[in-house]
Amino acid sequence: MDKVFDTIIIGAGPAGLTASIYAKRAMLNFLILEKWLPGGEIANTYEVENYPGINNVSGAELADKMIDHTKELGVNITLESVDHVEFEGDIKKIVTDRNTYLTKTVVIATGASARKLGAPGEKELSGRGISYCAVCDGALFRNKVVAVIGGGDVAVEDAVYLSRVAKKVYIIHRRDELRAAKREQEKMFAIDNIEPIWDSVVGSFNGTEVLQSLTIKNKKTGVISDLELDGAFVAIGMNPNVDYLKDAVEFNDGGWIVTDSLLETSAKGVYAAGDVRNTPLRQIVTSVADGALAIYALQKYL
Ligand SMILES: Cc1cc2nc3c(=O)[nH]c(=O)nc-3n(C[C@H](O)[C@H](O)[C@H](O)COP(=O)(O)OP(=O)(O)OC[C@H]3O[C@@H](n4cnc5c(N)ncnc54)[C@H](O)[C@@H]3O)c2cc1C
């Protein structure tokens, strides 16, 4: 008979890595699957200033520390992408790009990915001047003119980061005030080469081979103008990474996985942790807390 794991953790970001630490310490027979690089979204984060006990650390450093912690405990991360799942019955099936696994419980910790704007030219010029990760691609725009599109924490963080590399950074927001934390806004407004463009939306991304300009519409005045630049960083939020789940669990209207207070989904024995679920706060600290709670809860279930 095929081996049946106690649990399979899908995703090795902060939530999944923490779940693996708790699973190892609970001596569970488990697998942790990761489709890309362990560390998740924090590996793309320039600076983390709000994780207790570790101040002013780069996201990559914090990710390395978490991965080292799991290695010290003897956790092996299996680099496979989950393609589809079957959650009916007591034994669940997880099908990856290479194998099929059986398990009594599952921790879904696949996080979220950057949302697209959906404007004309975005698809064609993506990777040719349009980016969704300032930390990954910012260095390509040394002494160039760039824009960040968005008004939340990530948009402001991106603008601050890019101001150290680029000659000029516009931050384009559809309202006349930002949603980002006040402290981060103050930091940003104190930087000379950052200029906000308020009440404006991007109508199109223009360029033949590479991005050359944005067409912008001011929502209050109706004025349409072209902004010449070299790079645009879209920072308008995230979508959950749940395609592989199809309809195996319940989602809310935004597409996030619905869980109860012990992080169990609508499928018995299947838990969701971190950014992928319907949590009001998507941060490292909340994701690691979820990873721990999911293992606690599934042990009770087992
Ligand atoms: C630019 C940026 C800056 C941020 N700055 C901060 C900050 O300063 N402080 C803070 O607290 N938070 C910050 N965050 C938020 C923080 O990164 C997230 O809350 C956290 O990473 C969520 O952890 P997670 O484990 O739930 O998901 P993720 O980190 O998204 O990890 C999910 C993992 O699952 C993997 N995966 C996805 N699909 C599959 C599949 N089908 N099969 C296998 N594996 C899969 C992914 O490759 C990924 O490694 C920032 C986020 C961004 C984007």
CA angle, 38 as apex, 65 and 3 as ends, to 5°?
A: 115
Q: Which of 46, 96, 162, 284 to mutate to test the pocket of ligand 1 (most atoms within 8 A of CB)?
A: 284
pLDDT per residue as tens digits for the range 131-148: 998 887 899 899 999 999
Range 102-122 average pLDDT: 96
Catalytic residue among 68, 97, 136, 176: 136
Range 284-295 average pLDDT: 97
pLDDT at 55: 80
287 C-beta closer than 6 A to ligand 1: yes
154 C-beta closer than 6 A to ligand 1: yes
Write the secondary structure of the chain as one string of H (helix), E (strand) and C (coil). Answer: CCCEEEEEEECCCHHHHHHHHHHHHCCCCEEEECCCCCCHHHHHCCCECCCCCCCCECHHHHHHHHHHHHHHCCCCEECCCEEEEECCCCCEEEEECCCEEEEEEEEECCCEEECCCCCCCHHHHECCCEECCHHHHHHHHCCCEEEEECCCHHHHHHHHHHHCCCCEEEEECCCCCCCCCHHHHHHHHCCCCEEEECCEEEEEEECCCCCCEEEEEECCCCCEEEEECCEEEECCCEEECCHHHCCCCCECCCCCECCCCCCECCCCCEEECHHHECCCCCCHHHHHHHHHHHHHHHHHHC
Q: What is the mean pLDDT of the chain?
A: 95
Report the distance separating Cα 65 and Cα 112, nearest Å.
Answer: 21
151 C-beta closer than 6 A to ligand 1: no
- Of the chain, the percentage scoring pLDDT greater than 70 comes to 100
pLDDT per residue as tens digits for the range 29-60: 999 999 999 999 988 777 788 899 988 888 99
Band (pLDDT 50/70/90 cuts) for residue 106 is very high
pLDDT at 43: 83
pLDDT at 137: 87
Band (pLDDT 50/70/90 cuts) for residue 1 is low
pLDDT at 298: 98
* 216 CB-near residues (< 8 Å, 6+ apart): 172, 197, 200, 201, 202, 203, 224, 225, 226, 227
Band (pLDDT 50/70/90 cuts) for residue 14 is very high
16 C-beta closer than 6 A to ligand 1: yes
pLDDT per residue as tens digits for the range 190-241: 999 999 999 999 999 999 999 999 999 999 999 999 999 999 999 998 999 9
Report the distance separating Cα 289 and Cα 18, nearest Å.
Answer: 8
Pairing verdict, β 231-234 and 145-149: parallel
Range 275-294 average pLDDT: 95
Output the CA 15–ligand 1 centroid distance in Å: 8
Find tokens 């890595």 and name the residue.
17
pLDDT at 226: 98
Terminal alpha carbon distance of the chain: 20
Both tokens of 224, joined, read: 């349409």
Query: Is residue 275 scored above 90 in pLDDT?
Result: yes
Range 113-125 average pLDDT: 95
- Stated pTM of the model: 0.87
Output the CA 218–ligand 1 centroid distance in Å: 33
Band (pLDDT 50/70/90 cuts) for residue 124 is very high
Are 251 and 242 in contact by the 8 Å Cβ rule? The answer is: yes
Output the CA 41–ligand 1 centroid distance in Å: 3
pLDDT at 177: 94
Q: Of the candidates 195, 198, 187, 133, which has an alpha carbon nearest to the alpha carbon of residue 160?
A: 187
Nearest CA to ligand 1 atom 41: 82
Domains of the chain (ranges, CATH numbers): 4-113+238-301 (3.50.50.60), 116-234 (3.50.50.60)
Q: Which of 8, 42, 133 to mutate to test the pocket of ligand 1 (most atoms within 8 A of CB)?
A: 42
294 C-beta closer than 6 A to ligand 1: no
* 94 CB-near residues (< 8 Å, 6+ apart): 8, 10, 33, 82, 85, 100, 101, 102, 103, 106
Residues 108, 114, 115, 120, Cα dihedral to 10°? -140
Q: Which of 36, 45, 79 to mutate to test the pocket of ligand 1 (most atoms within 8 A of CB)?
A: 45
83 is catalytic: no
Band (pLDDT 50/70/90 cuts) for residue 105 is very high
